Amino acid sequence: MMLCMKTVLITGCSSGYGLETARRFHSEGWNVVATMRAPRADLLPLDARLRVVALDVTKPESIAAALEASGPIDALVNNAGIGLFGAFEATPMATVREVFETNTFGVMAMTQAALPQMRERRSGLVVNVTSSATLAPMPLVAVYTASKTAIEGFTASLELELAELNVRVKLVEPGYGPSTRFTENGGARMAGLISEPYAPLAARIFQSLGKPSAVTTAADVAEGVWRAANDTTGQLRFAAGPDAVALAKAR
């Protein structure tokens, strides 16, 4: 049964998972507000049901402006995130904070800003996109994993907090997606983070990532978000991609 939700705001739609999720919801007949830090209208179809809106989830004034421009929304998909790969010892705390500002505090800020209208209507949905890094430990992504694991705990608690208001909260956990811009987007941020003592470990990891047994595509994640949005069973977590599904089953 498809729930009667018509407008979704999706963060981080300039590429990868967010872009494909915006396309999926639009193809299913929803009104889509696709947000990006640097808006590009050419990435998505020109259609009355689809708008591209500027949004930087680390800036309160940008969040407020984006929500005002969007009008009433039935669903919020917190997909915007940045990647980080490197030895924790070599990672400046300023970089740690930068990752948390987007991946953790940005999600919380967007959610907090969207909740009043959902609470007043006693209807709404929040989907937080995390990572399969939360399902099984992996070296050299300690900061990234921490930023996403924080959202797992936040979401699980928030689900209970909002249930009586009829606002649903879901988690989507994508697997490893080599087709995304994870490395490209974090290139400058990751420079110098593989210090000499960690180079052999990093080399082994890069070799294994080059020969993955299963990977996650943007379409897998879009499907996971779509399933979460239309779930009526009360399920909280939705692994997205064959590798993430395997990790979730093994927990």
**How does pLDDT run across 116-142, given as a tens digit for each residue?**
999 999 999 999 999 999 999 999 999
Cα–Cα distance measured from residue 123 to residue 26, given in angstroms and rounded to the nearest whole number: 21
The pLDDT value recorded for residue 122 is 98
For the chain, which residues make up each domain, given as ranges? 7-250
Cα–Cα distance measured from residue 151 to residue 130, given in angstroms and rounded to the nearest whole number: 7
Cα–Cα distance measured from residue 85 to residue 189, given in angstroms and rounded to the nearest whole number: 9
Kindly tell me if the per-residue pLDDT of 181 is higher than 90: no
Q: Is 193 exposed, middle or buried (0-12, 13-18, 19+ CB in 10 A)?
A: buried
Residues sharing a CB contact under 8 Å with residue 157, sequence separation 6 or more, in sequence order: none
Q: Dump pLDDT digits (tens) for 19-72.
A: 999 999 999 999 999 999 999 989 999 999 999 999 999 999 999 999 999 999
Q: Is 46 exposed, middle or buried (0-12, 13-18, 19+ CB in 10 A)?
A: exposed
Of the CA atoms within 13 Å of residue 2, those in its CB half-sphere come to 8
- Please pick, among 17, 144, 176, 198, the residue that the annotation labels catalytic: 144
Query: Domain 7-250, what fold?
Result: Rossmann fold (3.40.50)
Number of separate helices (H) and strands (E) present in the chain: 9, 7
CB atoms inside a 10 Å sphere around CB 211: 6
Residue 224 · residue 240 · CB < 8 Å: yes
Active-site residue, 198 included: no
